[in-house]
C-alpha cells in the first residue's frame, strides 16, 4: 500500500475578520508532512504559523483549500493530535500527577496510575507528583505539559513555540528531551513552530520558511543531520552551519520587510 | 522507559518558600497577649464608665451583659433563639445557593438565554433585597419561612453572579486542550468548567454568609416572635439595654464563628491558587 503523506495542506488559505476588515493570515499554502517526520515552521511574527497548527487541530476552519489528515479532510476537532503551546495550559487546581493523568481519564484508559508514574519518570519529575503547578518553576511546568501531551500517545504532536518562554540553557535541555522522547517511537510526527532559527535546525528533519503576512511558503530546507541527534553538539557541525545560513538568507528579507511595515 | 537527564539550572522547586512569611513578629510580649491585654483594658473601661460615668441604662456593662447571658442560658432561651437564627440562615443559604449556582451555570453555558434575561435579572439585583421583607412576611407569615425566603433571595443573587462570572472566566485554551484529548461536553463541564468556576463560587459563598445573617436578623426585627433579631427588638422595646447588648454579643459571636469556619474551608479548598 503506497503511504501518502500524513498531513497534506492543499492550497490552504485563511482570512480573519477584524473589526470589519479582512486580515489574510495564510495564502495558498501547499505542503506535505510525512509520517515520523519533524517538520519545523519558521517565519516572522504574524505569518500564520500558529494558524496552520490551529487548522490542523481543527480549532479553525479554512477560508479556502483544505487540510487532509491521512487522506481525509479535517472537519471539527482532530483528536489524533496532541497540542502544546507557549502557555503550558496546565489545570492549576490539579497537582502534577493529576494534570498528567487528565488525557487518560478522559479516554477512560486502563492502568492509569502506572502510566502516570512512567511518564513522571520520563520527564524527570519524581518527587513532585503532589505539587500544584504554581509551586513549580517554568521549566518544570513545561515538563508536566510535555508529559501530558505524550501520555495519550498521539500519533502527531503540534507544538507552538513550546519553549519560547524559557532561558537559553533550559531551552536546549528541553529540546534534547523532546528529541529523545520522539526517538523512542519512530512513527511519531511533530510539527513545530518557532521563530528561533537555531532551534529549527537543531530539531527539524525539514525546515519551512514562511513569508510575512499573509504567510506563504518561501523556502524549504532538508536538514542533513542524522537522528538521534544531540542538540548540544549539532551546533558545531558544518551541515548545521550551512543549513542555518541558507535559512537565514531566506528569513532575513522577511524579517526586514516586517520591520519596515 | 529511558530516563532523561535532569537539568539543574533554574529548575529547582519554589514550593518551600511559602509559610515562612508569617515569622516576622514584634519581639518581647507575644501578639496574642498584647491583644488580650487590649481587650481586657477596653472591657475594664466600659465596666468603669458604667459604674462611675454613664448610667448603665444607656450603655449597659460587661458584668450586666454576662448576667443576662447566664440568665438566658439557665432558662434555655439563649440556645432556642440562637438556633432559630442559625436555622433561618442555613436553610435560606442552602436554598439560595443551590438555585444561584444552577442559574449561574445555566446562563453561563447558554449565551442566548443570558442575553435575553440579563436586563431583568440586573434590575432585580439592583433592588435592595431587604425591601422585600414586608412583602415576604405578608405572604409567608411571621414564622421562620419568611426569613428563610429573604435570606434565600439575597444569597441567590450573590451566588448567581459569582457563578456566572466563574463560568464565563473559564480559560478557553483549557477547553480546547481537553477537546483535543477527545473530551465530551459533559467531561468538559466536569473537568474544566466546574473546578474553574469553583473558586468563584467559593468566593460567592464567603461573601454571602455575612449577608445571610443580615437577612435573617432584619427579617426578625421587622416581624417575628423568635430569633436573635427578635431579642434585640424585644428588649429595646422594653428599654432593657442589657438584653439588647446581650443579643448583640451573641450575634457578634455567631458572625465571628461563621467567618472563621468559612476562612478555613476556603483556604483548604483553594490551596492551588
Domains and their CATH numbers in chain B: 66-269 (1.10.3720.10)
CA distance B212 to A72: 58
Chain B residues lying within 8 Å of A142, measured CB to CB: none
Cβ A65 vs Cβ A31: under 8 Å:
no
Q: Chain B, 163-182: which have a CB under 8 Å from a chain A CB?
A: 171, 173-174, 176-182
Q: For the segment A102-127, what is each residue's pLDDT rounded down to a tens digit?
A: 999 999 888 899 999 999 988 889 99
Grid coordinates of B104: 449561574
Chain A residues lying within 8 Å of B198, measured CB to CB: 93
Q: How far is CA B65 from CA B56, B229, B246, in A?
A: 11, 17, 5
Grid coordinates of A83: 497540542
CA distance B6 to A128: 13
Share of chain A above pLDDT 70, in %: 97
Average pLDDT in the B111-134 region?
92
> What is the H or E stretch that residue A29 is in?
strand A21-33
Per-residue pLDDT at B255 exceeds 70: yes
What ipTM was assigned to the predicted interfaces of this complex? 0.85
Mark yes or no for CB contact B191/A133 under 8 Å.
Answer: no
pLDDT value at position A257?
Answer: 75
Mark yes or no for CB contact B181/A152 under 8 Å.
Answer: yes
Q: Which residue of B has its CA nearest to A145?
A: B177
Average pLDDT in the B195-202 region?
91
Chain B residues lying within 8 Å of A134, measured CB to CB: 272-273
Sheet bearing A156-160, strands edge to edge? A81-84, A156-160, A189-193, A38-42, A206-210, A217-222
pLDDT value at position A216?
Answer: 87
Nearest CB to B13; choose among A81, A121, A128: A128
CA distance B177 to A102: 10
What is residue B228's DSSP assignment? H
Cβ A84 vs Cβ A160: under 8 Å:
yes
Per-residue pLDDT at B4 exceeds 80: no
Chain B residues lying within 8 Å of A170, measured CB to CB: 7, 9-11
What is residue B223's DSSP assignment? S
Alpha helices in chain B (DSSP H): 31-52, 56-59, 62-75, 77-108, 111-126, 133-140, 144-168, 172-180, 185-188, 194-222, 228-237, 241-269
Per-residue pLDDT at B5 exceeds 80: no
Of B31, B124, B98, B90, the C-alpha closest to B254 is B90
Q: Which residue of A has its CA nearest to B194?
A: A93
B187 touching A, CB under 8 A?
yes
CA distance B247 to B257: 15
What is residue A66's DSSP assignment? E
Q: Lowest-confidence range among A95-99, A212-216, B86-90, B172-176?
A: A212-216
CA distance B27 to A11: 74
Average pLDDT in the B167-182 region?
92
CA distance B188 to B199: 17
Q: Which residues contact B48 (CB under 8 A, 6 or more apart)?
A: none
Mark yes or no for CB contact B272/A87 under 8 Å.
Answer: no
Average pLDDT in the B139-156 region?
95
Average pLDDT in the A147-173 region?
89
Task: Tell me the shortest Cα–Cα distance from A246 to chain B, in angstroms.
Answer: 32
Q: How far is CA B111 from the centre of its chain?
A: 29
Mean of the per-residue pLDDT values of chain A? 88
The pLDDT-based confidence of A160 (bands split at 50, 70, 90) is very high
Amino acid at each position: 500500500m503506497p503511504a501518502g503523506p500524513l498531513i497534506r495542506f492543499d492550497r490552504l488559505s485563511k482570512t480573519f475578520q477584524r473589526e470589519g476588515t479582512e486580515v489574510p493570515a495564510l495564502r495558498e499554502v501547499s505542503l506535505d508532512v510525512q509520517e515520523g517526520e519533524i517538520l519545523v515552521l519558521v517565519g516572522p511574527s504574524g505569518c500564520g504559523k500558529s494558524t496552520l497548527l490551529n487548522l490542523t487541530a481543527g480549532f479553525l476552519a479554512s477560508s479556502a483549500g483544505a487540510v487532509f489528515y491521512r487522506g481525509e479532510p479535517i472537519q471539527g476537532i482532530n483528536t489524533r493530535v496532541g497540542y502544546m503551546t507557549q502557555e503550558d495550559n496546565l489545570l492549576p487546581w490539579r497537582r502534577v500527577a493529576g494534570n498528567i493523568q487528565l488525557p487518560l481519564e478522559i479516554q477512560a484508559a486502563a492502568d492509569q496510575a502506572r502510566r502516570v508514574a512512567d511518564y513522571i519518570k520520563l520527564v524527570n519529575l519524581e518527587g513532585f507528583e503532589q505539587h500544584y503547578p504554581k509551586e513549580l518553576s517554568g521549566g518544570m511546568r513545561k515538563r508536566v505539559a510535555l508529559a501530558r501531551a505524550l501520555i495519550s500517545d498521539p500519533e502527531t504532536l503540534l507544538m507552538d513555540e513550546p519553549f519560547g518562554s524559557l532561558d537559553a540553557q533550559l531551552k536546549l535541555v528541553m529540546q534534547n528531551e523532546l528529541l529523545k522522547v520522539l526517538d523512542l517511537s519512530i512513527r511519531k510526527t511533530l510539527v513545530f513552530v518557532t521563530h528561533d532559527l537555531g532551534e529549527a535546525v537543531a530539531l527539524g528533519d525539514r525546515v519551512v520558511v514562511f513569508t510575512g503576512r499573509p504567510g506563504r511558503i518561501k523556502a524549504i530546507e532538508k536538514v542533513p543531520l542524522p537522528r538521534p541527534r544531540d542538540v548540544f553538539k549539532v551546533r558545531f557541525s558544518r551541515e548545521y552551519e550551512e543549513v542555518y545560513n541558507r535559512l537565514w538568507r531566506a528569513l532575513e528579507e522577511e524579517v526586514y520587510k516586517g520591520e519596515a511595515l | 522507559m529511558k530516563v532523561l537527564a535532569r537539568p539543574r539550572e533554574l529548575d529547582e522547586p519554589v514550593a518551600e518558600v511559602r509559610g515562612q512569611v508569617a515569622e516576622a513578629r514584634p519581639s518581647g510580649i507575644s501578639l496574642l497577649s498584647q491583644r488580650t491585654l487590649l481587650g481586657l483594658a477596653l472591657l475594664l473601661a466600659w465596666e468603669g464608665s458604667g459604674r462611675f460615668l454613664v448610667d448603665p441604662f444607656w450603655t449597659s456593662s460587661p458584668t450586666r451583659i454576662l448576667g443576662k447571658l447566664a440568665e438566658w442560658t439557665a432558662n434555655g432561651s439563649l440556645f432556642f433563639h440562637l438556633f432559630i437564627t442559625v436555622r433561618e440562615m442555613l436553610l435560606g443559604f442552602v436554598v439560595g445557593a443551590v438555585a444561584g449556582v444552577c442559574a449561574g451555570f445555566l446562563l453561563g453555558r447558554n449565551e442566548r438565554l443570558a442575553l435575553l434575561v440579563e436586563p431583568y435579572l440586573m434590575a432585580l439585583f439592583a433592588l435592595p433585597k431587604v425591601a422585600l421583607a414586608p412583602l415576604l412576611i405578608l405572604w409567608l407569615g411571621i414564622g421562620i419561612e419568611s426569613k428563610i425566603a429573604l435570606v434565600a433571595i439575597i444569597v441567590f443573587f450573590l451566588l448567581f453572579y459569582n457563578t456566572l462570572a466563574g463560568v464565563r472566566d473559564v480559560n478557553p485554551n483549557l477547553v480546547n486542550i481537553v477537546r483535543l484529548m477527545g473530551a465530551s461536553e459533559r467531561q468538559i463541564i466536569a473537568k474544566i468548567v466546574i473546578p474553574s468556576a469553583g473558586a468563584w463560587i467559593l468566593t460567592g459563598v464567603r461573601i454571602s454568609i455575612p449577608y445571610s445573617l443580615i437577612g435573617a436578623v432584619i427579617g426578625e426585627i421587622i416581624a417575628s416572635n423568635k430569633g436573635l433579631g427578635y431579642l434585640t427588638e424585644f428588649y429595646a422595646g422594653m428599654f432593657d439595654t442589657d438584653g439588647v447588648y446581650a443579643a448583640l454579643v451573641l450575634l457578634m459571636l455567631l458572625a465571628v464563628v461563621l467567618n472563621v469556619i468559612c476562612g478555613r474551608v476556603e483556604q483548604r479548598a483553594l490551596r492551588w491558587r
